[in-house]
């Protein structure tokens, strides 16, 4: 039984994240989508809100996917929960350096756990949560970049 984890901030979830989730779930028996608490980052949405967005809009019917809140060391979480694969998405070369260091560190902390990278699909390769937040706050249209159910929440939070 191969258990994988896809950790991230998902602040907010984008179609790029959903693409990775949909592809990753086909490669494993179960996928934990781990929403980072990120106390050092200033998030637009609380961890509870980000979990709510992911679960109510996207995955309420898929029993292979579990959405959890997560703080602390990812490597520890993997070992404690029998997770053997960390999934990350790679967009451009800009992602690579950070992801490379992170994967090596996680390998050092938890040698039995491997990181697997899925290359972003063409249409999502420029999409990031940060760019989505920026465009919405300037009244731009992001309807093709995020799940439709989170659009009203985004606009409400960023335009008030
Ligand atoms: P973090 O705060 O760790 O950057 P994100 O939620 O932004 O968290 O991203 C989580 C993971 O999803 C990272 O591996 C990131 O590279 C990947 N990712 C983010 N946006 C996309 C996208 N548009 N296409 C593919 N992967 C993505």
Q: What is the dihedral of CA 18, 43, 152, 33, to 10 degrees?
A: 30
Q: Which domain holds residue 99?
A: 3-159
Annotated active-site residue 17? The verdict is yes
Mutate to test the pocket of ligand 1, among 4, 6, 8, 99 (most ligand atoms within 8 A of CB): 8
Query: From the candidates 9, 50, 88, 129, which is the catalytic residue?
Result: 129
Are 145 and 132 contacting, i.e. CB atoms less than 8 angstroms apart? Answer: yes
Contact 22, 62 (CB under 8 A): no
Q: Which residue reads 């781990």 in tokens? A: 34
Cβ of residue 12 lying under 6 Å from some atom of ligand 1: no
How far does the centroid of ligand 1 lie from the alpha carbon of residue 10, in Å? Answer: 8
Kindly give the confidence (pLDDT) of every residue in the chain, 160 residues in length, as a single tens digit, with 9 standing for 90 and above.
999 999 999 999 999 999 999 999 999 999 999 999 976 668 999 999 999 999 877 666 688 999 999 999 999 999 999 999 999 999 988 889 999 999 999 999 999 999 999 999 999 999 999 999 999 999 999 999 999 999 999 999 998 7
**Does 129 participate in catalysis according to the annotation?**
yes
What gap in Å lies between CA 100 and CA 132, rounded to an integer?
25
Count of the separate structural domains present in the chain: 1
CATH of the domain at 100: 3.40.50.620
Q: What is the pTM of this model?
A: 0.94
Please indicate whether residue 125 is annotated as part of the active site: no
**In a 10 Å sphere around its CB, with 0-12 CB exposed, 13-18 middle and 19+ buried, how is residue 135 labelled?**
middle
């Amino acid at each position: 039984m191969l258990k994988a984890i896809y950790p991230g901030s998902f602040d907010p979830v984008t179609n790029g994240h959903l693409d990775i989730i949909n592809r990753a779930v086909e490669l494993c028996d179960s996928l934990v989508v781990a929403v980072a608490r990120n106390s050092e980052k200033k998030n637009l949405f609380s961890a509870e809100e980000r979990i709510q967005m992911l679960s109510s809009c996207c995955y309420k019917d898929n029993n292979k996917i579990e959405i959890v809140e997560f703080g602390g060391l990812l490597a520890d979480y993997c070992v404690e929960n029998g997770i053997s694969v960390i999934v990350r998405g790679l967009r451009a070369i800009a992602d690579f350096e950070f992801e490379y260091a992170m994967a090596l560190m996680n390998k050092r902390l938890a040698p039995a756990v491997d990181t697997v990278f899925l290359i972003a699909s063409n249409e999502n390769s420029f999409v990031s949560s940060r760019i989505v937040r920026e465009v919405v706050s300037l009244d731009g249209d992001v309807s093709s970049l995020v799940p439709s159910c989170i659009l009203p929440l985004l606009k409400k939070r960023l335009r008030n």
